[in-house]
């Protein structure tokens, strides 16, 4: 039988990233010419091999650590060198530093042997400049021949890769080394990339958000926050044409570019650290806001885009062919509106909010004019191009929308959480229009009210929870999924309905893993290793944690947070895109989903969402007030956070062991009340 192409696995690789450049290697530091290993810049693999050898043998690895944005250390041994004793006497430290468009390595040989030794150190190198979509599909690639002339360099089109350091040898670099007893010898080499047509680049300025100091009884929360803040800093990106505005690239390696939904959610979770990232993300997406109807790209007037690439994104082996600027998302537009509103309430300057009001009005117009294709009053999607995403919510895999019996829903599909987003966006849009003296507030409040009535009539099931979606025949898709948790806090539910959803999600079939499962174990489509039908996604769980905390269901919020913290322990506190949805008792730790991206922006931002839920600070700067509503009883233990941001002011918050919270540093004119 002919082997089918398989997407390369990622779970055991080490990512060293400072966007838009990423090195993916084995845990031993070796970059081998296999799978997805390599050095990537923007959307191409610029080195497909960088393997270290000493006297023709690979060192034996004993450990590694990611040591900050763009930096990793790999430690190994050369036991065939040095003394013939049980203790190793020759250690090899390989320090990798990635910066935008470059990678540098220091290879240090340290000896505690009694006698000097000599050896030959080599680094074998190759380059294929394979597009990311070819690597993702498991497609075959061919190493490029190096440029003629001195040195090591490769070129394809306008992209050029050059290597320096050591003596140039066949297939790489070479050093002849002698190490005396007690000495250390350090070798250095590096690679540089010139890529003038990349659509993303490093931002022009410093980090846009604060880095708070966190102390907590639960040490896992401190460690997760520290690693997550490093990863968020490493994922900062800007458009090459407008480097002054930063957004977060979605994830390494497949999604290190602008993704409307992902970048919005990550910026929204980071609002407690300042509004600057939200403001720049909003501006970037507004510049790409749809202006015309285009079935191929999914563009429509007022619509917020899905993803940005250098060129067409065509995955070998299937029919997916996405244009460079693709709009196939049903939820990015209402989420953009909600982000603008939330940033305003956290203190985004009124001049910056005002500049985005025309884009707000266009986005609101899309809700009614283009988001509801068949006029039934719900937002729904269908790919009419035949080459785009079949599912266009955050669960966008082909089998993501399934009935309880496992059957797949047919489009047009109206997702449950998207109706909540639309309700929240309409109410938020009305508040902004009214506050800034623009017409239309009453129209959008009326829209929200009518949507809530229709939703209550059509989505609620006899089982006591809302359906996942309505299919093309307006039948409720009756699987129990995490999507319903996104409704919490949007305003579309009554308190009694929020309680029903909280109790539904509390069932072990949903919450019995390390976080919230994407689908109940009782549904026929469930698999703990399904991308969207049984796995656990950190950002999905964090969104539900935030909604539970806001709606007064702190007990379940705390249990789900504990699940993510326990999962983080097994991933060195770098939460992946998703992990397996097995029961917690099965292995005692979370199992990886083998093709999960890591780091991932909204997974890293989940750490901030957990801290925010525990503290419970909810400012409304335009109204001159802030509400403090921590999780009751301090279920995550005592917590101190210094360096939150409200309207540019540095704010400190503490939660004592009894669950009593205190806040200091709120800006003048903002009055605090307990929730």
What is residue 316's predicted lDDT score, i.e. its pLDDT? Answer: 72
Q: Does the structure show a pLDDT above 60 at 555?
A: yes
What is residue 139's predicted lDDT score, i.e. its pLDDT? Answer: 83
Q: Is residue 664 part of a domain?
A: no
Please tell me the number of Cα atoms within 13 Å of 482 on its side-chain side: 33
Model confidence at 5, pLDDT cuts 50, 70, 90, reads confident
Q: Does the structure show a pLDDT above 70 at 618?
A: yes
Q: Are residues 209 and 345 in the same domain?
A: yes
* Per-residue CA distances from 237 to 227, 244, 251 (Å): 18, 10, 11
Q: Does the structure show a pLDDT above 70 at 2?
A: no
pTM here is: 0.97
| Phi, psi (rounded to 5 degrees) for 49 | -155, 140
User: pLDDT, tens digit, for every residue of 479-496?
Assistant: 999 999 999 999 999 999
Q: Are residues 563 and 526 in the same domain?
A: yes
Final residue of a domain: which of 146, 178, 198?
198
CATH of the domain at 227: 1.50.10.10
Q: Are residues 577 and 444 in the same domain?
A: yes
Structure-token match 């009210």, residue found: 449
Q: Are residues 166 and 209 in the same domain?
A: no
Question: Is there a contact between 52 and 94 (Cβ–Cβ < 8 Å)?
Answer: yes
Q: Is residue 663 part of a domain?
A: no
User: pLDDT, tens digit, for every residue of 35-45?
Assistant: 999 999 999 99
What is residue 3's predicted lDDT score, i.e. its pLDDT? Answer: 60
CATH of the domain at 170: 2.70.98.40
Q: Is residue 4 part of a domain?
A: no
Q: Does the structure show a pLDDT above 80 at 54?
A: yes
Q: Are residues 208 and 186 in the same domain?
A: no
Q: Are residues 372 and 351 in the same domain?
A: yes
Q: Does the structure show a pLDDT above 80 at 459?
A: yes
Q: Is residue 286 part of a domain?
A: yes
Q: Are residues 107 and 249 in the same domain?
A: no
Mean residue pLDDT across the chain: 96
Domain, as residue range, for 87: 14-198
SS (H, E, C) 246-309: EEECCECCCECCCEHHHHHHHHHHCHHHCCHHHHHHHHHHHHCCCCCCECCCCECCCCCCCEEC
Final residue of a domain: which of 198, 230, 253?
198
Q: Are residues 582 and 458 in the same domain?
A: yes
Q: Are residues 137 and 248 in the same domain?
A: no
First to last CA, the chain: 64
Q: Which of 372-376, 494-498, 531-535, 655-659 has the lowest mean pLDDT?
A: 372-376
Percent of the chain residues past pLDDT 70, beyond the cut: 99
User: pLDDT, tens digit, for every residue of 343-353?
Assistant: 999 999 999 99
Q: Are residues 314 and 169 in the same domain?
A: no
User: pLDDT, tens digit, for every residue of 201-230?
Assistant: 999 999 999 999 999 999 999 999 999 999
Q: Is 572 left (phi over 0), alpha (psi -120 to 50) or beta?
A: left
Q: Are residues 324 and 466 in the same domain?
A: yes
Q: Is residue 660 part of a domain?
A: no
- Over residues 548-574, the mean pLDDT reads 97
- Over residues 505-525, the mean pLDDT reads 98
Final residue of a domain: which of 139, 165, 198?
198
Q: Is residue 9 part of a domain?
A: no
What is residue 1's predicted lDDT score, i.e. its pLDDT? Answer: 39
Q: How many domains does the chain have?
A: 2
Q: Are residues 318 and 466 in the same domain?
A: yes
Q: Is residue 669 part of a domain?
A: no
What is residue 445's predicted lDDT score, i.e. its pLDDT? Answer: 98
User: pLDDT, tens digit, for every residue of 283-304?
Assistant: 999 999 999 999 999 999 999 9
Q: Is residue 354 part of a domain?
A: yes
């Amino acid at each position: 039988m002919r082997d089918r192409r398989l997407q390369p696995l990622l779970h055991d690789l080490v990512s060293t990233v400072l966007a838009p450049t990423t090195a993916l290697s084995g845990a031993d530091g070796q970059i081998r010419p296999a799978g997805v290993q390599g050095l990537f810049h923007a959307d191409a693999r610029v080195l497909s091999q960088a393997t270290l050898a000493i006297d023709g043998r690979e060192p034996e690895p004993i450990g590694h650590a990611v040591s900050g944005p763009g930096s990793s250390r790999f430690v190994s041994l050369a036991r065939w060198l040095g003394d013939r004793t049980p203790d190793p006497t020759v250690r090899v430290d390989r320090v990798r530093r990635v910066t935008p468009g470059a990678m540098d390595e220091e290879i240090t040989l340290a000896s505690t042997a009694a006698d000097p030794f000599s050896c030959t150190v080599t680094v074998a190198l190759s380059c294929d400049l394979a597009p990311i979509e070819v690597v993702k599909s498991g497609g075959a690639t061919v190493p490029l021949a190096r440029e003629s002339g001195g040195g090591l360099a490769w070129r394809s089109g306008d992209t050029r890769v050059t290597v320096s350091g050591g003596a140039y040898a066949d297939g790489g670099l070479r050093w002849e080394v002698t190490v005396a007893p007690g000495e250390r010898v350090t070798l250095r080499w590096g690679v540089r990339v010139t890529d003038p047509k990349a659509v993303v680049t490093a931002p022009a300025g410093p980090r846009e958000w604060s880095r708070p100091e966190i102390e907590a009884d639960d040490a896992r929360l401190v460690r997760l926050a520290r690693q997550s803040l490093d990863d968020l800093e490493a994922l900062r990106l800007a458009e090459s044409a407008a480097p002054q505005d930063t957004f977060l690239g979605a994830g390494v390696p497949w999604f290190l570019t602008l993704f409307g939904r992902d970048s919005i959610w990550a910026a929204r979770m980071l609002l407690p650290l300042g509004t600057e990232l939200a403001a720049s993300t909003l501006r970037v997406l507004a510049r790409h806001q749809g202006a015309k109807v285009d079935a191929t790209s999914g563009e429509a007037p007022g619509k917020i885009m899905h993803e940005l690439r250098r060129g067409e994104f065509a995955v070998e082996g299937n029919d997916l062919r996405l244009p460079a600027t693709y709009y196939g998302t049903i939820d990015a537009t209402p989420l953009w509106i909600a982000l603008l509103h939330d940033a305003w309430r956290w203190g985004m300057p009124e001049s910056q909010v005002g500049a985005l009001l025309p884009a707000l009005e266009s986005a609101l117009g899309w809700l009614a004019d283009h988001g509801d294709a068949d006029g039934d009053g719900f937002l729904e999607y269908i790919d009419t191009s035949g080459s785009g995403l079949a599912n266009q919510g955050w669960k966008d895999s082909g089998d993501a929308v399934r009935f309880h019996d496992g059957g797949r829903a047919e489009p047009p599909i109206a997702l449950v959480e998207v109706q909540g987003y639309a309700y929240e966006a309409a109410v938020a849009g009305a508040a902004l229009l009214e506050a800034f003296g623009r017409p239309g507030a009453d129209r959008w409040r009326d829209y929200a009210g009518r949507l809530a009535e229709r939703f209550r009539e059509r989505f609620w099931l006899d089982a006591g929870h809302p359906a996942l979606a309505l299919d093309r025949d307006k039948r409720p898709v009756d699987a129990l999924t995490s999507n319903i948790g996104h409704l919490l806090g949007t305003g579309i539910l009554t308190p009694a309905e929020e309680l029903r959803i909280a109790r539904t999600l509390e069932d072990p079939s949903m919450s019995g893993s390390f976080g919230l499962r994407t689908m109940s174990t009782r549904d026929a489509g469930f698999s703990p290793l399904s991308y969207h039908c049984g796995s656990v996604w950190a950002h999905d769980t964090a969104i539900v944690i935030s909604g539970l905390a806001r709606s007064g269901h702190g007990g379940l919020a705390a249990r789900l947070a504990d699940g993510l913290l326990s999962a983080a322990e097994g991933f060195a506190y770098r939460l992946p895109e998703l992990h397996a949805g097995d029961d917690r008792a099965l292995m005692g730790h979370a199992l990886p989903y083998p093709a999960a991206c890591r780091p991932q922006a909204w997974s890293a931002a989940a750490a901030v969402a957990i801290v925010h839920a525990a503290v419970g600070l909810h400012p409304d700067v335009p109204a001159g007030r802030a509400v403090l509503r921590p999780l009751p009883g301090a279920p995550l233990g005592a917590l101190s956070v210094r360096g939150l941001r409200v309207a540019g002011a540095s704010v400190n918050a503490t939660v004592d062991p009894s669950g009593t919270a205190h806040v200091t540093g709120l800006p003048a004119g903002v009055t605090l009340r307990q929730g």
